[in-house]
Chains A and B, each alone.
Chain A
Amino acid sequence: MIETIQLSKKFKDKTVVQDVDMYLDQGESVGLLGPNGAGKSTTISMISSLLKPSSGDVKLNGESIIKNPSDIRKVLGVVPQDIALYQELTAYENLKFFGRIYRVPKDQLEDRIQHTLELVGLKDRQKDLIKTFSGGMKRRINIASALLHQPNILILDEPTVGIDPQSRNYILEMIRRLKVQNGTTILYTSHYMEEVEQLCDRVYIMDHGKVIASGSQSELLSILSNEDTISVQLSKMSPPLAKEVLALEPVRQVEEDGDTLKIISKKSSNIISDLVRLADQHQVKIINFQMVNPSLEDVFLHLTGRTLRD
C-alpha cells in the first residue's frame, strides 16, 4: 500500500536519512526501531508528506505522493512525537477542533468525539484543560486527535516516551485494538524494543539514517541463530575484564549492564572456562551465569555494537 524507494534526506551537508526502502501492507502493523537520532521522525515526516525528500520517492498504491500529497493525507492519521495540542483548551475542544479541520460531518462529530474519548479512557476528563493533564493523559489525547477522521493508516511517532507504565500499557493496548477491530494499518516508531516486539508484525531497524535490518521478529532473531547470548552476573563490574572478554576469539559483542555482562559469541563455542579464568585473574566472582533467548535489543547490539538506549 505504501512504499518508500531509496528515500533520503539531507539537511545542509548532513545526511539524516539514506536510501531507505520500506513497505507497508494493508492491515499490517510495522515497527520502526532505532535509537534517538537514527532518523525515524525524519523518515515518517517524509512518508506523511510533511517533508520533501532530498531524493527517492514515497508511493501510495503505486502513485508518488510528492507532487500530489492530498491522497495520502486523506487516509493518514499522524500522531506527532511532541504533544501538538492547544494546552489552553479542554480535551473536548481540542478534539472538536481536529474533527472540524478534518471535516468530520457535523451530525457525526459529537458521537466520534465521545467514542474517541472513550477509546483513550478520558471521557470523564473531557472538560478539563490539557495543561492540567499528566504526561500520559496528554499523550492519549495527542493520539485521539489523530483518530477522529477514522484514518486507514495510523503513524505513531514514539507515542509512549516519558510516561508512566500504566499509561504506556493503556496506549499499547489501545493501538492493538485499533489494529484488530478496525483493521487499521499501523506504522509504529519507537526506541523501546519491548513495545515493538509486543505490537508489530514486522520491524525495520534503523541506525544512522539507514535501515540496517528488517523482517518479521523471527526473521530478525534468526540473524542471531549462529550466536549465543550469555548473561553473566558478577560480584562487581570490572571494565578491564569486559575488555579481555571481548578479546576472546569467539566473542562478538560485550555489553556492560550494571554488574552484568551480556556476551554475544559464536554458537556452541565454549567460552565458560575462559570466563572463569579471566574472572579469577581480575578477582571478580561469577554469581550467576545463563544462556538467554535473544531479543531485538540483542539484534541491534549484534549489528551495531551499541544498545538502543545509547
Chain B
Amino acid sequence: MIPVFLAQLAKERRHPVILIVLIAASVAGTVIFTGGTQAPTEIAIFSEGTQSEAIEEKWETLLNHNSELQFVVSNPEDARESVQQGQADLAIRLTETDYTVITSSTMPDVAVAEQHVRSVFEQEAVIESALAQSVQPELLRTEIESAIGDPVMQMNVSSLGGDELSGYDMKTQLIFAFTLLTAMFMIGFRVNNILKDKVYGLWDRMILSPVTKTGMYTAYITYAFFIGFVQILIVMLIFRYFMNVELGDRFDLLLIVLAIFTFSMVSVATLLTGLVKKPELFYAIYPSVIPMIPIISGAYMVPGTITNPVLLFIGDLFPVSHAMDALLDIVMYNATLQDVTQPIMMMILIGVISMGIGVNLVERRSV
C-alpha cells in the first residue's frame, strides 16, 4: 500500500502543475473577491484645516459606533497616497458637516463603506438640526439616540431571503466557496487515477503483486485525501499569514471541518468515478458538474437566495453546502465544535455512504 501511495506522490512531485495552478486560482480568486491584500476593514479618515483635530475626533467616534468597519484617523498625505497606489480602496476626508470619499475603485466594499458613512452623517445632521431648535439640547440628544437604538420602524438592506446583507460576510463566503471548489477539482482528478491506472494496465500489474486490493484502494483514496487537504492547507496558510484574510479565532476548528470536508468529497468523487466507465469521460463530466454544485448549494450567493426545495435537496447531497455552513459559522459567529456538529455529521454520513457505494461500483466496473 505504501509504495502505491508513494508512487502517486512521486508523480505529483514530477508534475506539480495542477496543484500549483489550483492553489494559484484559489489565491487569485481571493484577491479578486477582497480587492487586494489590504485588510479590508480599515479605512483612513482625515480632516484638513484649523479645526481638523476636533472634527476627526467627533466623527471617529460616530463612525466607529456600531460598525464592522474600522475608521482610523491618519494624516492626509498618507491616506491619499495609499489610495493612489492601490494599497487602500478608499479614504474619507471629513469636514464639520460633510465628507468626501476618495477612491479609484469600484469594489463592493467601497459602496458598503460609503453607505455606512452616509447614514452616519445623515443621522447626525437630523440630530443637530433638532438640537438647534431645542431648549434642552442635552436631554433631547439622549432621547433621540435611544429612540434610534430602539426604532419603531427600521430599514435595513437585506437579501431576498431576509437575512442581513453584509459585504464582509459575502467576501469570506466567496473565499471559502472558491477554495472548496478548487479542492474538489484536485480531489476528483486524483481519485480518477484509479480509472486511469486501470486503463493503462498498472492496476492489473498491482493485482498480480502481493499488494491486496484493499491496500490498493486505500492507497489511492488516502492519497486523494492527502493531496486535497494539502492543497486546502496551503491556501489557508497563505490566507492567514500572507494575505491577512480574516479567518476568525478558531483556525484549528476550521482545519478540522476542512479535513472532514476533504474526506467527504473524496468519497463523493469515488462514487462519481464508479458511475463513469472511462477516465476520459470522467475528465469530460467532472469539471462541468463540479462547478455547478456550489451554485446549487448557494455557496456563491447570500444565504437563503436559493429557495427551490429540489435544488436545496440536491445541494444538501454534496458536502460543500454543509462545509460552507460550518466554516461561515466558525469564522463569522465564533461557533464552537458543538455548534457545528450537525454539518460535520452530515459530511461524515455523506462520506461513509458514498465511499461504500463508490468503491463497490468502481470494483464492479472492472472486468
Interface residues of chain A, those whose CB is within 8 Å of chain B, are 48-51, 70, 73-74, 76, 78, 80, 82-86, 88-89, 93, 97-98, 100-103, 129, 145-146
Contact = CB atoms under 8 A, between A and B. Distances in A.
Contacts of B3: 97, 100-101
B267 to A, nearest CB: 25
A78 B7 contact: no
Interface stretch (B107-115, B207-215, B351-359): B207-215
B364 interface: no
Contacts of A73: 208-210
A103 B210 contact: yes
Given A88-B14, A89-B10, A101 B204 contact: no
Contacts of B201: 80, 82-84
B208 A49 contact: yes
Given A100-B3, A129-B14, A84 B210 contact: no
B4 A101 contact: yes
Contact of B205 (A88, A98, A100): A98
Given A88-B14, A93-B10, A101 B202 contact: no
A266 B19 CA distance: 70
B367 interface: yes
B206 interface: yes
Secondary structure at the B interface, as helix, strand, loop or mixed, is helix
B209 A86 contact: no
Interface in B1-19: 2-4, 6-7, 10-11, 14-15
12 contacts: A49-B208, A50-B208, A70-B210, A76-B208, A78-B208, A80-B205, A83-B201, A84-B200, A89-B7, A100-B2, A101-B4, A101-B206
Q: Interface centre among A70, A89, A146, by most B CB within 10 Å?
A: A89
Given A73-B208, A82-B201, A86-B11, 20 more contacts: A73-B209, A73-B210, A74-B210, A80-B204, A84-B201, A86-B202, A88-B14, A88-B15, A89-B7, A89-B11, A89-B14, A93-B10, A97-B7, A98-B209, A100-B6, A101-B3, A101-B4, A103-B210, A129-B14, A146-B205
Interface string B33-71: 000000000000000000000000000000000000000
A148 to B, nearest CB: 10
Contacts of B204: 50, 80, 84
A86 B202 CA distance: 8
B210 A50 contact: no
A247 B204 CA distance: 50
Secondary structure at the A interface, as helix, strand, loop or mixed, is loop
Given A80-B204, A84-B205, A145-B205, A101 B11 contact: no
Contacts of A88: 11, 14-15
Interface string B118-155: 00000000000000000000000000000000000000
Nearest to B202: A84
Contacts of A93: 7, 10
A102 B367 CA distance: 23
Interface residues of B, number: 21
A48 B208 contact: yes
Nearest to A103: B210
Contacts of A85: 200, 202
Contacts of B209: 73, 98, 101-102
Q: Interface centre among B4, B202, B367, by most A CB within 10 Å?
A: B202
A20 to B, nearest CB: 19
A100 B3 CA distance: 6
Contacts of B6: 97, 100
A25 to B, nearest CB: 22
Interface in B345-367: 367
B32 to A, nearest CB: 32
Shortest 10 CB-CB distances between A and B: which pairs? A84-B201, A100-B3, A101-B209, A97-B7, A80-B201, A88-B11, A101-B211, A84-B202, A101-B3, A102-B209
B19 to A, nearest CB: 13
Contacts of B367: 51
Contacts of B205: 78, 80, 84, 98, 145-146
Contacts of A50: 204, 207-208
B195 to A, nearest CB: 14
Contacts of B15: 88
B207 to A, nearest CB: 6
A86 B193 CA distance: 11
Contacts of A103: 210
Q: Interface centre among B201, B205, B206, by most A CB within 10 Å?
A: B205
A146 B202 CA distance: 12
A231 to B, nearest CB: 40
Contacts of A145: 205
A70 B207 CA distance: 10
Nearest to B209: A101
B210 A101 contact: yes
A101 B1 CA distance: 8
A29 to B, nearest CB: 20
A86 B7 contact: yes
A76 B209 CA distance: 9
Interface string B225-252: 0000000000000000000000000000
Contacts of B210: 70, 73-74, 101-103
A80 B207 CA distance: 13
A10 B15 CA distance: 41
Nearest to A146: B205
Contacts of A80: 201, 204-205
Interface in B185-205: 200-202, 204-205
Contacts of A101: 3-4, 206, 209-211
A76 B7 CA distance: 23
